[in-house]
Amino acid sequence: MGAGIAEVCARAGVDTVVCEVDAVAARAARDRVAASLDRAVGRGKVERAAAQDALDRLVFTSSLDDLADRQLVVEAVVENPDAKTEVFAALDKIVEDPAAVLATNTSSLPVMRLGMATARADRMVGLHFFNPVPVLPLVEVVTSLHTSADTTAAVSDFATRTLGKTVVRSQDRAGFVVNALLVPYLLAAVRMAESGFASAADIDAGMELGCAHPMGPLRLADLIGLDTVASIAESLYDEFREPLYAPPPLLQRMVEAGLLGRKTGRGFHTYDRD
């Protein structure tokens, strides 16, 4: 997600700094962006010169200190509240401009809780992109009880005018708009497979061919990452305490086994890994 967000910013003409956990991860991030741009060139979506210009606008680092002069920082670390809180507490001390906006790409965690780790909760907002970021046009802008109207307007304007995305706004509730509707559907498909009612292939074919969905629910869960689906489900269940949000045992076991979907080569389906 972080590489995708960086790519769309660079393609939109924004000078962008990408911070990874270490130098090895930073090089890998650059390689991911370069490969994605190459694919876009191959599909005729981007001119070769424009792709190179975008890559040239990106700086890759492993030091948060290199974000000190940024006007907008978008966090996209693992979907773990402790990890995200640690990042925002550090950014609050590093980012110099008190008017700069701190944004989280969280799928489901409370924006206000993350913002309270800083001294600028009014400049904290949810900016939730969808995977793959260069392809999908939607961004959710999520406002907490502290988020100022100016912050909301500035981030919405950046997403629409600069990045060319479509914005939907959501209050700060677990799952926001899309995942609050999507995840119970994915979990229902997991329960159907878990019960032996139908195979993963038949469940996906049923929704693709019977309901004209571009991707079946289990293949979509694999694309999102089963660990991410489980994390979102846990956040939804913690907030609403409704059984439809509870992650099924099969999903939990697959996460424990490291069968996370496309990124590991195996989930409900198997995949070739590059």
Residues in the chain: 274
Number of Cβ within 10 Å of residue 124's Cβ equals: 25
Same domain, yes or no, for 167 and 79? yes
> Of 171, 198, 226, at which residue does a domain stop?
171
Same domain, yes or no, for 130 and 226? no
The predicted structure's pLDDT at residue 107 = 87
Treating both helix axes as pointing N-terminal to C-terminal, what angle do 48-56 and 23-42 enclose, rounded to 10 degrees?
160
Same domain, yes or no, for 137 and 221? no
Residue at 271 is within a domain? no
Rounded Cα gap, residues 35 and 12, in angstroms: 18
Treating both helix axes as pointing N-terminal to C-terminal, what angle do 178-195 and 217-224 enclose, rounded to 10 degrees?
120
The predicted structure's pLDDT at residue 185 = 98
Residue at 161 is within a domain? yes
Residue at 24 is within a domain? yes
Same domain, yes or no, for 77 and 145? yes
Residue at 270 is within a domain? no
Same domain, yes or no, for 78 and 31? yes
Residue at 233 is within a domain? yes
Same domain, yes or no, for 33 and 83? yes
Same domain, yes or no, for 122 and 197? no
Return averaged pLDDT per consecutive 10 residues of the chain, 274 residues in all.
95 96 94 95 94 96 96 94 96 96 93 96 97 94 97 97 97 94 97 98 98 97 95 93 96 98 96 79
Question: Do 26 and 58 form a contact (C-beta atoms < 8 A)?
Answer: no
The residues, ordered by sequence, that sit 6+ positions from 78 with a Cβ below 8 Å of its Cβ are none
Residue at 68 is within a domain? yes
Residue at 191 is within a domain? yes
Q: In the chain, how many domains are there?
A: 2
Rg of the chain (C-alpha set): 19
Same domain, yes or no, for 162 and 210? no
Which amino acid makes up residue 182?
L
Domain at 260, CATH number: 1.10.1040.10
Same domain, yes or no, for 167 and 182? no
Same domain, yes or no, for 107 and 218? no
Domain at 127, CATH number: 3.40.50.720
Same domain, yes or no, for 135 and 24? yes
Structure tokens given for 204: 């996906």
Parallel, antiparallel or unpaired: strands 138-143 and 124-129: antiparallel
Residue at 59 is within a domain? yes
Q: Give me the domain span that covers residue 13.
A: 2-171
- Could you give the residue numbers annotated as active site? 107, 128, 140, 179
> Of 127, 142, 171, at which residue does a domain stop?
171
The pTM assigned to this predicted structure is 0.89
Same domain, yes or no, for 138 and 235? no
The predicted structure's pLDDT at residue 274 = 58
> Of 144, 171, 198, at which residue does a domain stop?
171
